[in-house]
Chain A
């Protein structure tokens, strides 16, 4: 049996969990684990992705997310249910919970798997710039799957809910979320349909104003490279890449960005990429779908002006 740890936030299931359930279903009989009473209403949604049994865990410590408490729940579930594999989402929470479970069980954990082979696994390294084929020697394989590596295909069954009892040491409450500051709704870098990014070639913080104008004209947002955040021109929340945000817009417009591999992995899921660069040999240019060779300080305002002209 494969046990899928369902990632949810106060009862809202993450799309990454749909992928985990769908991936597990292809590998064998799938059960799901939901942590906290807030997730009790997810049984039908879980069944839609083919899990037959949902193990529901309740405890006073599980009112909100807490990495230690959640990890301990997963560890005890493994001991009780004895699955051949535990699958979780390759997200901040999924990787964190699985690491806590692995530490408690003293078992290996394979993070961000993209392929299940015959006796081996392929996982992501360097944020996706490189892959690794590896083997695991363990009675239960603890695996997280890379986000977007598996399709969230439905295969509906009638899932049955069953309670699972755990014993949680109250000390684990020390890492439960104490408070949260909700974000104002709106387009974020991760979800924007258009991202206009600037790199070192922009030259200054003020140089981003024309990029902001173009982004606004296209109902998009501004992004940047790490060179820019390191120079203090933009906040790190705007950074695209391995240690920034992964984006997947309809179009990514990269201005004055060379296209280092760590930047590229954050942008490569974009449907189309337009590079604006003075250097026709820049990696961003040679990898892009479209390119304009030239000084971004002249090209970007010209594009904005042309958009305004056509719209009248």
Chain B
């Protein structure tokens, strides 16, 4: 199987997210970078499918030159090829991002043949627009289902499962296909030392992206309303149990 995974480099905030003074980005002064857990699982799924069915996986990102770090992380887990669509300055909007990614896929497929499966995260960690994968699939004329937590290959069909309020929905999607993956589909492995060394040697293909801006424009980031409650310390150690149960009775949880 030939599989492509699309990931986005995002900051990894801890206890809180601080906004840069210009309101245009997260203040990343003391932060590391990562990708969404959904995308980590998409990478793992690609590697597992290749281990099972043969072929090769490719990882692609549109982002700053530093996104090389996320591409090599994917490579350290077993992804063979990497593509960077470098941009500078502010994040691209979802329409623009999708147009550029779809064009890069078409370009790459013209040279190397089609991808049987393209994986996206269900939503990006930072923007959470819930749309880049759908737009890319539509541009390529391929089916896409989001929220996927299980994939089985059956001939040229993919049996994909998704969790809904009512239970598990089962989809049968013909390849070539696109799926949006949710965390929980698998348990991502950690990179081995060997994998890390090998990832340093992977040649990252640089393809300058081209696309017009879409119709949505961010004006500014805003902090979310924060609940401020003075914490009532009920005690220290097991001796606090009586005060805890008093509280549970008081709020009506324990009748």
Contacts and interface: CB of A to CB of B under 8 A. Distances in A.
Interface of A: 9, 14, 65, 67-68, 71, 92-93, 95-96, 98-100, 102-104, 106-112, 120, 122, 124-138, 144, 174-183, 193-194, 218, 226, 229-230, 232, 235-237, 239, 242-244, 250-251, 258-262, 268, 271-272, 274-275, 280, 283, 285-295, 298-299, 301-303, 305-307, 310
A291 B231 contact: yes
Given A133-B220, A230-B187, A294-B236, A289 B128 contact: no
27 contacts: A9-B166, A67-B144, A71-B134, A92-B162, A96-B134, A99-B134, A107-B215, A108-B95, A109-B131, A125-B126, A134-B216, A175-B145, A177-B170, A181-B170, A182-B166, A226-B37, A230-B187, A235-B184, A237-B184, A243-B183, A244-B183, A251-B248, A274-B247, A293-B237, A294-B236, A302-B239, A306-B241
A76 B164 CA distance: 26
Contact of B244 (A174, A182, A236, A274): A274
Nearest to B132: A99
A99 B134 CA distance: 6
Contacts of B19: 130
Q: Which 3 pairs, one residue from A and one from B, show the smallest C-beta to C-beta distance?
A: A236-B184, A302-B238, A103-B138
Given A230-B187, A274-B244, A290-B247, A108 B94 contact: yes
Interface stretch (B54-62, B73-81, B171-179): B171-179
Interface residues of B, number: 83
Given A109-B216, A181-B168, A303-B241, 15 more contacts: A67-B146, A71-B134, A96-B130, A104-B138, A125-B126, A135-B217, A135-B219, A180-B168, A229-B183, A243-B38, A250-B251, A283-B16, A289-B231, A290-B233, A293-B235
Interface stretch (B109-117, B192-200, B222-230): B222-230
A232 B187 contact: yes
A133 B222 CA distance: 7
A236 B150 CA distance: 13
B26 interface: yes
Contacts of A103: 98, 131, 134-135, 137-139
B138 A100 contact: yes
A9 B165 contact: yes
Contacts of A128: 224
A261 to B, nearest CB: 6
Given A99-B135, A291-B233, A130 B216 contact: no
Contact of A136 (B13, B215, B237): B215
B217 A137 contact: yes
Contacts of A260: 13-15
A312 to B, nearest CB: 13
A126 B241 contact: no
Interface centre among A126, A237, A262 (most CB of B within 10 A): A126
Nearest to A93: B164
